[in-house]
A = this chain, B = another copy of it.
């Protein structure tokens, strides 16, 4: 057990170390009898090559990086990331890649984390999430030629490899649904205003209103941070308006739920007085009362495509197409 490297295997099998390596890498330039002999010894001793040495030699760590821009507390409540992480892991595993997750809350630590992962070559590529309109990370990574895939959107569309939900389309669909079910004063509570996803869903919302000839009222739009209080206080503000909104579209389930809970505290009946809709169709939606109507984003599909694309990039194949859209669907429940 002590010494278990290729050269030991080679010694025991009576061949050179190079041959052991060739056998293990499936190099065809090796005689069948010899291959068997080597494999027998490998099996017997349960030898597995050292990943650290492989990394140095091949210049590949077989590690994919994912950086989440949240503090631990904020991550805990958000089912989106757990699902995303798990799906990426599963998919990466199929190609013998592993996932390295990091968190970075502040802008400074973000820079540091990306810098480190990139420069130290600790990971072979990155999956980016929560993109902003002018995203420094993206410009940086692009100019360095580092392999990465964005889950989200970036202009121009073909500048980077990306996978995205159809955010504009989904927000359009759900807003359209609200209008068709009789709602007229529909509010939108987004996440942080800089995020592309906040803007895209706002866009779909506006487009849908326009398509029905409903004027866009900026007083019905608010932005919340990733904490419960800000969505709740946005809801309080909305309730103080006259007339009150009759529907609220939250940028994600947590925002919608916080808003809905706040509304109920104010004695609002859901969905009679106000309808609520969220995004992500998290398990949460089914536990609350009334259960929350939500736009189901296909997180596993998103993760799968992003991972596939990234691995292709890492291994030198140009992905085609460079941008993929995953459709979303509305899951109707009691709240709208």
- Seen from chain A, the residues whose Cβ lies within 8 Å of a Cβ on chain B are 1, 46, 48-53, 55-56, 59, 61, 63, 68, 70-73, 75-79, 81-83, 85-87, 89-90, 93, 98-103, 115-116, 119-122, 144, 228, 254, 257, 261, 282-284, 286-289, 299-300
Contacts and interface: CB of A to CB of B under 8 A. Distances in A.
Given A56-B55, A75-B82, A50 B121 contact: yes
Given A50-B121, A93-B103, A99-B102, 19 more contacts: A48-B115, A48-B119, A48-B120, A50-B120, A51-B61, A52-B56, A52-B59, A53-B56, A55-B55, A55-B56, A71-B86, A72-B300, A73-B86, A75-B85, A75-B86, A77-B82, A82-B82, A89-B101, A98-B102
Most B CB atoms within 10 A — which of A61, A86, A100? Answer: A86
B76 A283 contact: yes
A161 to B, nearest CB: 22
A61 B50 CA distance: 11
Given A48-B119, A53-B56, A82 B86 contact: no
Contacts of A68: 86
Contacts of A93: 102-103
A284 to B, nearest CB: 6
Nearest to A77: B283
B85 A85 contact: yes
A286 B258 CA distance: 10
Contacts of A120: 48-51
B100 A63 contact: yes
A81 B81 CA distance: 11
27 contacts: A46-B119, A49-B120, A50-B121, A52-B55, A52-B59, A52-B122, A53-B56, A56-B56, A68-B86, A71-B90, A72-B87, A75-B83, A75-B86, A76-B299, A77-B79, A77-B283, A78-B82, A81-B82, A82-B82, A85-B85, A89-B101, A99-B102, A101-B101, A284-B287, A287-B287, A287-B288, A289-B289
A128 B257 CA distance: 33
B52 A61 contact: yes
A89 B76 contact: no
A50 B52 CA distance: 12
A300 to B, nearest CB: 6
A293 to B, nearest CB: 15
Nearest to A93: B102
